[in-house]
Structure 1
């Protein structure tokens, strides 16, 4: 695996400018682009002012927050029309479980009113939810003194900002990438069909933050950091299995080609530590090595069936067109499969780092290949954000007017779809 955007090996003069930072060891006088010599202090004084640099750093966060603000406004309008309140919607469905876990007492202190999809509840039922996000919410609540729902929304927002910066960096590191591609990718990421969860008491934002930076570190061949970020993701969602596959396979290739010394030997196995740790904890609580999977099947009828349930759902939804949500969900699934095929083709041609494709493919397989609530299929595709890279690369090459028009349309459609799925659709997301 090659590390896109790696170190150039030192500063040099390229087309009349310094291609790298000004080292401290420069002589007292230097020459830039044929200009008269000048003291080193004057060269340093001509560096980019702080405010443009600060704006550049904050831009991914600003774009992410702007897109999510549009989504919140649309959600508030739809919720009012449906006779509900915005706060109720932002903490609904699985959010109730996460808030219950974050209130204190851990898995044994969750409010008794919460139950599984069948209205049942046992002492093991809360173990179906991974601890990373509730713990984060509890920490924010402790530090700020906020009630649990506002603390959860703050945690989600901060995680989304971290994710946005990681996504922007991925857009720079891929072949043909640039800062511009990264910013387009941030808008697409924040405007995914079910990006409404980036504004809810849900764990997707925190998971995407850890996943994005794990992939960034992986492309840079920073094996330990990639493994640690994947470990953190493994404490947030089971989707971390996709990161384990990407980091683990990349580490195997590095070991097989004798690259980067001992680091891939440690970074690869480290990626699985968080996920295995929680699955092991549930195994000790339930007395079964497959305890977590059994909880999912008993409580939410969720298991891997190779895609049979998803295929049946898609055929039925397209045949009778019972609802906008179901037809749109099928369209989103087909779109994800199409983007995956495009990504695979680009990886074969060397235009896309293959670990990013492995990660996205694993997320798609886990989503399409499982049964359970079909209304959650679009939400479960949110972590597959690397599928958006070909779109971002293509849009970045278009004229500004075309690019802006497409992105505005994406943001508006995303805002409507998320609001409809949350406030208008009667089943879980």
Structure 2
């Protein structure tokens, strides 16, 4: 009788275990899909609003998402850097102007172009890279001090709704760079130095903002070597991290100034930026003048919004100051490069997009709020970002 009783009870005893296992599987699937769902949901809202604005202003959606820098990347993807003499900022033909654009993004477009066509391939690269960035941010939100799974999801939402996040769904390099940058930072925090070095190398082939990432990785690796925590493995990151950026700068100088010395070749890219777009590092003089002009005289909505983003970035940097060193160094590096440059002032909200670690304090603060509050805040930010991006691409008549 005892054996019979045990036989009868086994299914009942197993049921709670099966239910728990099923619940765990469901939760894991939700956790796997949620970063993508959050990112795509916010970006879909931005695309819908941009579509409406494009229709109101009698322009096409495709022409907007492939405008300005997108046109350059598509041309380079199709024909390489030898585009012939191209007018620079002064209207002078310059055959080397295309080399101001880094090669990784047009290279990926060219690989996918036979299957999708060039414009669609550019958007596919941005889409996949944006999703990779979302999963990296979800992980970063769990790794930071005081972080959690929920903080990671909120970080994804805030990133997707960053001012000028519309470029994440354009033929621009921001999505690809942010994906490589966030996984570099994740790898550093997890002390996977080899992976950090490879990702940083790749980021250096995407855009010059990689300099901030290189500095952050170098600082983190030197600190690890000083602590003797990971043996000689940080040396791998020290060797790989700068290779992509400085390799491309050197290669550009070699193509443009083959007879010059090494230092002159490294500075060639900066010279092309100055010749083509009147962009160079001036210590922030141009930005200060712009802010002062806007605060005292400007009646342009785009100018006011740009200044608001600048102040917001500075506030975020102050709040980030006590977080992990690698995050602070990276964000500070991006801020110094962007705000210390004489580049197009109204492009600064876009150029600040890679400083996504500035969003960490906001994500951690939202974790402590009620769910309803979080929904209202995230929805409001997403709507504001969607409007800002649509306005910048359709109403504003100048490059961003």
TM-score by length of 1: 0.85
Number of matched residues? Answer: 381
Tell me the CA shift for residue 111 of structure 1. Answer: 7.4
Question: Matched residues in 2 for 1:361 and 1:318: separation?
Answer: 24
Matched, 1:412 2:383: yes
Question: Matched residues in 1 for 2:179 and 2:219: separation?
Answer: 21
Structure 2 unaligned regions, length at least 5: 1-12, 258-263
Taking a change above 3 Å as real, the CA distance of residues 97 and 111 of structure 1, as seen in their structure-2 partners, is farther
* CA displacement, residues 78-106 of structure 1 (integer Å, 9 cap, x when unaligned): 11111211010000010000011111x32
Question: Matched residues in 2 for 1:44 and 1:265: separation?
Answer: 48
* CA displacement, residues 22-43 of structure 1 (integer Å, 9 cap, x when unaligned): xxxxxxxxxxxxxxxx99xx78
Tell me the CA shift for residue 217 of structure 1. Answer: 0.3
Match of 1:135 in 2: 107
Tell me the CA shift for residue 49 of structure 1. Answer: 5.4
Question: Matched residues in 1 for 2:288 and 2:140: separation?
Answer: 32
Taking a change above 3 Å as real, the CA distance of residues 162 and 111 of structure 1, as seen in their structure-2 partners, is farther
Equivalent residues in 2 for 1:321-340, closer than 5 Å: 321-340=298-317
Match of 1:239 in 2: 209
Question: Matched residues in 2 for 1:358 and 1:319: separation?
Answer: 32
User: Which consecutive aligned stretches of 4+ in structure 1 deviate over 6 angstroms post-superposition?
Assistant: 42-45
More helix by share: 2
Match of 2:6 in 1: none
Structure 1 unaligned regions, length at least 5: 1-37
Matched, 1:208 2:178: yes
Matched, 1:57 2:28: no
Equivalent residues in 2 for 1:195-344, closer than 5 Å: 195-287=165-257, 288-289=264-265, 290-344=267-321
Question: Matched residues in 2 for 1:391 and 1:115: separation?
Answer: 43
Q: Is the 8 A contact 2:185 2:196 kept in 1?
A: yes
Tell me the CA shift for residue 115 of structure 1. Answer: 4.1
Tell me the CA shift for residue 379 of structure 1. Answer: 0.5
Match of 1:107 in 2: 81
Match of 1:389 in 2: 360
Tell me the CA shift for residue 396 of structure 1. Answer: 1.1
* CA displacement, residues 131-163 of structure 1 (integer Å, 9 cap, x when unaligned): 011111112223xx2121111111110100000
Match of 1:83 in 2: 58
3-state DSSP of counterpart to 2:93:
coil
Match of 1:403 in 2: 374
Match of 1:32 in 2: none
Q: Is the 8 A contact 1:120 1:299 kept in 2?
A: no
Tell me the CA shift for residue 119 of structure 1. Answer: 3.8
Taking a change above 3 Å as real, the CA distance of residues 264 and 116 of structure 1, as seen in their structure-2 partners, is same
Equivalent residues in 2 for 1:87-166, closer than 5 Å: 87-103=62-78, 105-108=79-82, 110=83, 115-142=87-114, 145-166=115-136
1:358 pairs with one of 311, 319, 329: 329
Q: Is the 8 A contact 1:177 1:393 kept in 2?
A: yes
Tell me the CA shift for residue 47 of structure 1. Answer: 6.4
* CA displacement, residues 282-307 of structure 1 (integer Å, 9 cap, x when unaligned): 01012132110000011111000000
Q: Is the 8 A contact 1:100 1:111 kept in 2?
A: no
Match of 1:31 in 2: none
Question: Matched residues in 1 for 2:129 and 2:112: separation?
Answer: 12
RMSD of aligned Cα (Å): 1.9
Tell me the CA shift for residue 120 of structure 1. Answer: 3.7
